[in-house]
């Protein structure tokens, strides 16, 4: 079933219905199949897209750029030193200026309020490429990957292990509740998600049949899970908390012992980048920082690179659905 999402923002998944989320995932699968077949649409022809980045990015930036070009749009990268955001110009005023020049705006940065103000005042579709609170475009790619492996989302048992109150966990919580999944946050109680957000997810779950549970016990949390997901233990801007997080989260590291407690057909997902060996500057400095072992990361269970590719197709679907012809 098709849905008219023209001129809609994507700030969080809270604002989208179950049917709309599934529509975006199905559209992503179609656009992916088209690209594999060498079929390129021009749904965004002559559209100019502002890509605003306060934080560095590999997957989000590249996915938006490739998705724009595939569909005929012109992407314009605007880094943190290219704009006057909050310095010489209010975000509200910047939004109204950018909205007169661009047809759509992606924002990746720190404060969630920034993308909300952009969405309120730009007058064109605004897409959240990541804030401190939410990362909705990531979760669409996660769910496309789950659907590719299990055929559907409803009823799939999904365990997020690690920092249960980061932006990815928050978005997964809402998305899973809206899509009827058996979703577990597996984390120390100190890193459980915000109580109000959990309550909201449980309200959505009443409508979809989803299960929402929080576990500090790893064995209970991952038992029978079809998906095990993790993220880095300290997000961008939290580098001063690395030692503290390692101490808290070491028991929640994804390793083969955890995999063996899950479903026999379990898949491993990660939004990337991942610490899984001592080959990065941070993992050299902090040898215990790895949230997943090399054994798991290089195993057949790892679908994180499919997931990374799916960022292109799901972001393309969001732009086509909200801005395309």
Question: Annotated catalytic sites, by residue?
Answer: 108, 135, 138, 231, 271, 311
In order of 70, 251, 265, 314, the CA distances from 224 in angstroms are 39, 19, 9, 28
Facing residues of 52 across strands?
A: 78, 107
> Quick one: how far is CA 207 from the chain centroid?
23
Pair of tokens at residue 111 = 């404060």
Pair of tokens at residue 234 = 């300290």
d(CA 51, CA 140): 19
d(CA 190, CA 187): 8
Supply φ then ψ for residue 67, to 5 degrees: -60, -40
d(CA 14, CA 4): 17
d(CA 281, CA 287): 10
- Residue 280 makes CB contacts below 8 A (sequence gap 6+) with none
d(CA 287, CA 290): 7
- Residue 199 makes CB contacts below 8 A (sequence gap 6+) with none
């Amino acid at each position: 079933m098709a849905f008219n999402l023209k001129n809609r923002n994507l700030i969080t998944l809270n604002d989208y219905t179950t049917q709309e989320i599934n529509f975006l995932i199905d559209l992503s699968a179609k656009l992916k199949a088209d690209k594999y077949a060498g079929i390129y649409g021009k749904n965004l022809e002559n559209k100019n897209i502002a890509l605003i980045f306060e934080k560095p990015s590999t997957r989000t930036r590249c996915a938006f750029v490739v998705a724009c070009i595939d569909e005929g749009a012109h992407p314009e990268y605007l880094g943190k030193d290219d704009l006057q955001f909050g310095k010489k110009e209010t975000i509200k005023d910047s939004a109204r200026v950018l909205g007169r020049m661009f047809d759509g705006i992606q924002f990746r940065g720190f404060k969630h309020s920034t993308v909300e103000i952009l969405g309120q005042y730009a007058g064109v579709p605004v897409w959240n490429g990541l804030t401190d609170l939410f990362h909705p475009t990531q979760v669409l790619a996660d769910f496309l990957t789950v659907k590719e492996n299990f055929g559907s989302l409803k009823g799939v048992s999904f365990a997020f292990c690690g920092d249960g109150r980061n932006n990815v966990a928050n978005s997964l919580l809402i998305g899973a509740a809206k899509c009827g999944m058996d979703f577990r946050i597996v984390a120390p109680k100190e890193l459980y998600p915000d109580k109000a957000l959990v309550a909201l997810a449980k309200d959505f779950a009443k409508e979809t049949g989803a299960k929402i549970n929080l576990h500090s016990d790893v064995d209970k949390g991952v038992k029978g899970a079809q998906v095990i997901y993790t993220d880095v233990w300290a997000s961008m801007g939290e580098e001063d908390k690395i030692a503290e997080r390692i101490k808290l989260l070491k028991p929640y590291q994804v390793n083969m012992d955890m995999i063996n407690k899950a479903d026999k057909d379990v898949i491993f997902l990660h939004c990337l980048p991942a610490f899984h060996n001592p080959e990065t500057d941070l993992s050299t400095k902090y040898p215990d920082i790895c949230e997943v072992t090399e054994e798991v990361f290089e195993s057949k269970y790892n679908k994180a690179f499919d997931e990374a590719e799916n960022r292109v197709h799901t972001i393309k679907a969001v732009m086509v659905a909200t801005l395309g012809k």
